[in-house]
């Protein structure tokens, strides 16, 4: 679906035009056309391919979708694939934006997510001195917006991790529930890492020693994106290490709980074993057992069993087994 098709000249908006009129402007050296599409439409992409002369391999990737994040150079044009990550309750929704950038055009195809780039367009139109740098500045602005949207997602995941860490040492907590929550959190961190890590190489190529000619004047802008990606990647790795450590602590807590349970069971078994031993001896019904005919034999036997169990209870409580 076509969202907007706008012509810009010298950093200023000229007009919104139908897709059929794009060829009237892309041939003008002082103009560029910014087209925004939502969801993949094979027929519309083929029309854009004819209007802009897009590379067929890049168009094929955009039509198929589910590509790994990347930035590729096709002659005098660039093709970028970025993953868009949005919070959907406690889950992450992953979409994709494919960006075609040439000297006089920029085409973005967004799919799988709700939030668009109206704010990016408004930002660019409010900065005509930057927008006059051309379509590559729009490429930077779109990539910058996508990368900046990773930060709130990462902040939410860090908050979830802090909440789980607080529950680890709660008395009468449920360590197994914590492990499940940590595993799910680790999966969400991996989803975010799969969006961030592959972009590092691509963006570094736009800000390093060898850069495509069309973005040579924007090297410092893409270096800023690279710095953001580095920070995101390092924070994700740090959080993954924390999740691994927290999982180990939870496993230790489970082992400690089981150990405490075994201590209690052992203590109760000892309390039962002592009177059982004494009763077993007198239950063998030997003929010559003088205590059987002694008047105080029964209360003495009960008293001894109670005294021994009382002493054991004292010792077990002192050892914190009960």
pLDDT tens-place string over residues 147-181: 999 999 999 999 999 998 888 877 676 777 888 88
Mean pLDDT for the stretch of residues 22-26: 85
pLDDT at 34 over 70: yes
Closest CA to 86 of 96, 74, 78, 72: 96
Helix (H, G, I), strand (E, B) or coil at 296: coil
Distances (CA, A) of 147 to 192, 226, 253, 264: 11, 10, 38, 54
Q: Residue 309 and residue 269: Cα distance in Å, rounded? A: 11
Tokens at residue 170, please? 């709660």
Domains of the chain and CATH, by start: 1-131 (3.30.460.20), 256-318 (1.20.58.340)
More confident residue, 192 or 209: 192
Q: Of 8-12, 186-190, 249-253, where does mean pLDDT reach its minimum?
A: 249-253
* pTM of the complete model: 0.79
Highest mean pLDDT among 113-117, 235-239, 306-310: 235-239
Residue 84 has pLDDT above 80, yes or no: yes
pLDDT for the residue numbered 209: 59
* pLDDT value of position 269: 85
Using one digit for the tens of pLDDT, what is the confidence trace for 93-113?
Answer: 999 999 999 889 999 999 988
pLDDT given at position 95: 92
Position 225 pLDDT exceeds 80: yes
pLDDT at position 41 is 85
Poorest-confidence range of 44-53, 116-125, 199-208?
A: 199-208
117 has a pLDDT exceeding 70 = yes
Contacts of 231 (CB under 8 A, 6+ apart): none
Q: Which residues of 202-227 are buried (b: 16+ CB within 10 A; e: fewer)?
A: bbbbbbeeebbebbeebeebbeebbe
CB atoms under 10 Å from CB of 264, counted, come to 13
Long-range contacts of 93-96 (CB under 8 A, 24+ apart): 94/191, 94/195, 96/65, 96/66, 96/67
């Amino acid at each position: 679906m076509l969202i907007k098709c706008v012509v810009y000249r010298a950093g200023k908006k000229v007009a919104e035009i139908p897709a059929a009129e794009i060829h009237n402007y892309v041939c003008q050296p002082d103009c560029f056309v910014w087209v925004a599409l939502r969801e993949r439409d094979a027929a519309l992409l083929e029309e854009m391919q004819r209007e802009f002369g897009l590379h067929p391999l890049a168009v094929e990737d955009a039509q198929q979708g589910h590509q790994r994040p990347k930035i590729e150079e096709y002659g005098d044009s660039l093709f970028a694939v970025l993953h868009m990550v949005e919070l959907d309750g406690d889950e992450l929704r992953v979409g994709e934006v494919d960006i075609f950038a040439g000297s006089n055009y920029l085409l973005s195809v967004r799919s799988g997510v709700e939030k668009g780039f109206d704010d990016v367009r408004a930002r660019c139109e409010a900065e005509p001195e930057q927008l006059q740098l051309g379509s590559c500045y729009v490429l930077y602005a779109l990539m910058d917006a996508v990368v900046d949207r990773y930060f709130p997602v990462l902040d939410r995941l860090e908050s979830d991790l802090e909440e789980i860490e607080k529950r680890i040492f709660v008395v009468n907590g449920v360590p197994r529930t914590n492990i499940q929550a940590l595993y799910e959190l680790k999966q969400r961190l991996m989803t975010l890492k799969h969006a961030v890590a592959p972009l590092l190489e691509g963006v570094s190529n736009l800000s390093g020693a060898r850069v495509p000619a069309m973005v040579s004047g924007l090297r410092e802008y893409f270096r800023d994106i690279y710095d953001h990606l580095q920070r995101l990647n390092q924070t994700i790795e740090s959080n993954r290490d924390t999740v691994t450590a927290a999982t180990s602590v939870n496993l230790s807590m489970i082992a400690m709980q089981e150990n405490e349970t075994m201590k209690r069971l052992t203590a109760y078994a000892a309390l039962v074993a002592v009177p059982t031993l004494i009763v077993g001896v007198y239950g063998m019904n030997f003929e010559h057992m003088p205590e059987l005919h002694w008047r105080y034999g029964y209360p003495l036997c009960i008293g001894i069993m109670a005294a021994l169990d009382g002493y054991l209870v004292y010792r077990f409580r002192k050892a914190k087994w009960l």
